[in-house]
Chain A
């Protein structure tokens, strides 16, 4: 296949990617958009397959079956609740691929009389650097969300210094390579330092902030791929990679804004670390906690006029979305007005909770976004908080020393009564104390969310 023909066909792929992004921004066409993107990807693979021709086609096929098989199985088997870490994993391997391509390219162009042009060597080193950071960082994000390692921020003295040294060390090796020191070891050093930097950079970030980090690393991988396009002089990689790099960066900013935090604060704030101090200053240890039995709560619910469910990640973990809908249906049948208040970052990713409730066929009109839900709490009898914590923490409004101060929250404490379903008094994912639990209006129903909801269903039925 000629260079021009393959580039024209790649252009079709580029158009499909642009359309995919366009369609993904609208709930009505989102799925179609993803399919268009996938079709474009298949075209690109076929074109490349023909272009490469007979060389090592069987090796390419075997590698694709291994990688594709793993991707398909992992993506099919994963629970909806584990989606965020899956995205992190697939993002990481993409970054790893970009770094490997850089290694192979340098190996090809370097032997005497090598002297690659500056743009090629720049593409190689930066693609290796950014790709490695993305790979290592994504793996740590995956491990944190999968709870292979603790979700709490990990910090130590001199952390910023070590990170800075690693990053600038990697950058220094890259610059030396571009400047004409023709030694493959420099690229190895770049990659090793970047990998270490990726690990150390993500480790101190708390689990609750992981979505923003994954989105940022996603943009990184896109940029690494675009730089790979400069190495290989491939338009498709440049445009598609940069599309993801740019849109991913914007998405990162939007996600941080939804949490009312700056990206810099997310990345370098070691979120949750200050929480010990913040919680001590808050309502923390002094207050008492009232706990109730399921029968008490069932009576409250059945004789309420208006009940608002506030789902959080605990609901997702317990897979209780179907049970919640059942309880809601039951209450509606008894004439109770039911709605769901969805915080923009409920769950572990923006929009995560909408996905889970949609899976349980919760009627769309009952889902209220935060701005719509907040004014309604004052005329709500019972706010039922199912496994949510930080998104209903009044410290975000009142306590300036709290690490989440300023984050918009659901004002459940405006309701007559707040019922909190929670496994124990352990602080939530971000590791912050919640004075809501000590509020006199609040009663706690301890236990697994699914078991508690099932108990409530059983107790509401005969009333």
Chain B
């Protein structure tokens, strides 16, 4: 059928692209909405937390380094990308956790320590 034909042709690239643009735009609204009421107190941990989340770039770095039949150039660049991205992921989450640990200790104050 003619419609099948159209759908199939489109599906190759443009449909995926339109879908990607759609979720991109929705993500913008979601990102704004989800943090719209954050107190000043949490600005620093939130910045650090979002910093950890963009460490998801590690997925892209792994895909690049995991390609079969790659050139020496891709080897080097991919390897460096995975190193940098892992530092982003691990460092980002650990730093954020250390910051937030401080907030938790306030709710259940320990015995005053004498330093």
Q: B interface, how many residues as a size bin? A: 35 or more
**Cβ-defined contact, B62 with A30, below 8 A:** no
Q: Does any Cβ of B come within 8 Å of A431's Cβ?
A: no
Q: Does any Cβ of B come within 8 Å of A215's Cβ?
A: yes
Known A-B contacts A60-B82, A218-B47; A31 and B53 likewise in contact (beta carbons under 8 Å): no
Q: A75–B101 Cα gap in the complex (Å)?
A: 14
**Cβ-defined contact, A241 with B112, below 8 A:** no
Q: Does any Cβ of A come within 8 Å of B2's Cβ?
A: no
Q: Does any Cβ of A come within 8 Å of B84's Cβ?
A: yes
Give the interface SS of chain A, mostly helix, strand, loop or mixed: helix
**Cβ-defined contact, B54 with A244, below 8 A:** yes
- Taking CB atoms, residues of chain B closer than 8 Å to A75 are 90-92, 94-95, 98
Q: Does any Cβ of B come within 8 Å of A44's Cβ?
A: yes
- Taking CB atoms, residues of chain A closer than 8 Å to B103 are 27, 30-31, 354-355, 358
Contact with B along A210-248 (1 / 0, CB 8 A): 010011001001101110111111111111111111111
Q: A352–B47 Cα gap in the complex (Å)?
A: 12
Name B3-43 residues within 8 Å CB distance of A.
13, 16-17, 20, 23-24, 27-32, 34-43
Known A-B contacts A25-B37, A233-B20; A49 and B88 likewise in contact (beta carbons under 8 Å): no
* B90 closest partner in A (C-beta): A71
**Cβ-defined contact, A53 with B66, below 8 A:** yes
Q: Which of A74, A89, A254, A361 contacts B105 (CB 8 A)?
A: A361
Q: Which of B35, B73, B93, B98 contacts A38 (CB 8 A)?
A: B93
Q: Does any Cβ of B come within 8 Å of A105's Cβ?
A: yes
Known A-B contacts A75-B94, A222-B54; A97 and B88 likewise in contact (beta carbons under 8 Å): yes
Q: Which of A60, A69, A243 contacts B30 (CB 8 A)?
A: A243
Instruction: Tell me which of A80, A236, A247, A350 has the highest count of chain B C-beta atoms within 10 A of its own C-beta.
Output: A247
**Cβ-defined contact, A108 with B74, below 8 A:** yes
Q: Which of A24, A72, A235 contacts B90 (CB 8 A)?
A: A72
**Cβ-defined contact, A240 with B53, below 8 A:** yes
Name B89-115 residues within 8 Å CB distance of A.
89-107, 109-110, 112-115
* B37 closest partner in A (C-beta): A25
Nearest chain A CB to B91's CB is how many angstroms away? 3
Q: Which of B61, B68, B79, B100 contacts A34 (CB 8 A)?
A: B100
Nearest chain B CB to A368's CB is how many angstroms away? 12
Chain-B contact segment, one of A14-22, A260-268, A300-308: A14-22
Give the interface SS of chain B, mostly helix, strand, loop or mixed: helix
- Taking CB atoms, residues of chain A closer than 8 Å to B39 are 25, 27
Q: A237–B59 Cα gap in the complex (Å)?
A: 8
**Cβ-defined contact, B60 with A234, below 8 A:** yes
- Taking CB atoms, residues of chain A closer than 8 Å to B56 are 13, 17, 41, 44, 225, 236-237, 240-241
- Taking CB atoms, residues of chain A closer than 8 Å to B92 are 71, 75, 87, 90, 94
Nearest chain B CB to A185's CB is how many angstroms away? 14
**Cβ-defined contact, B50 with A21, below 8 A:** yes
- Taking CB atoms, residues of chain A closer than 8 Å to B73 are 104, 107
Nearest chain A CB to B23's CB is how many angstroms away? 6
- Taking CB atoms, residues of chain B closer than 8 Å to A338 are none
**Cβ-defined contact, A246 with B28, below 8 A:** yes
Q: Which of B17, B98, B99 contacts A119 (CB 8 A)?
A: B17
**Cβ-defined contact, A351 with B54, below 8 A:** no
**Cβ-defined contact, B44 with A71, below 8 A:** no
Q: A221–B87 Cα gap in the complex (Å)?
A: 14
**Cβ-defined contact, A68 with B50, below 8 A:** no
**Cβ-defined contact, B104 with A214, below 8 A:** no
- Taking CB atoms, residues of chain A closer than 8 Å to B13 are 117
**Cβ-defined contact, A25 with B38, below 8 A:** yes
Contact with B along A38-64 (1 / 0, CB 8 A): 100100110011011101110110011
**Cβ-defined contact, A244 with B31, below 8 A:** yes
Name A435-457 residues within 8 Å CB distance of B.
none
Known A-B contacts A34-B93, A242-B31, A350-B40; A247 and B50 likewise in contact (beta carbons under 8 Å): yes
- Taking CB atoms, residues of chain B closer than 8 Å to A63 are 65, 79-80, 82-83, 86
Q: A34–B47 Cα gap in the complex (Å)?
A: 12
**Cβ-defined contact, B94 with A76, below 8 A:** yes
Q: A354–B99 Cα gap in the complex (Å)?
A: 10
Q: A103–B69 Cα gap in the complex (Å)?
A: 17
- Taking CB atoms, residues of chain A closer than 8 Å to B41 are 27, 350-351, 354
**Cβ-defined contact, A22 with B34, below 8 A:** yes
**Cβ-defined contact, A45 with B61, below 8 A:** no
For the complex of A and B, 9 pairs with smallest distance between CB atoms: A246-B31, A52-B66, A67-B86, A71-B91, A71-B90, A63-B82, A75-B94, A242-B27, A350-B43
| Pairs across A and B, CB under 8 Å, 6 listed | A20-B53, A27-B42, A30-B42, A35-B97, A72-B90, A245-B28
| B binding-site residues for A, Cβ under 8 Å | 13, 16-17, 20, 23-24, 27-32, 34-68, 70-71, 73-75, 77-107, 109-110, 112-115
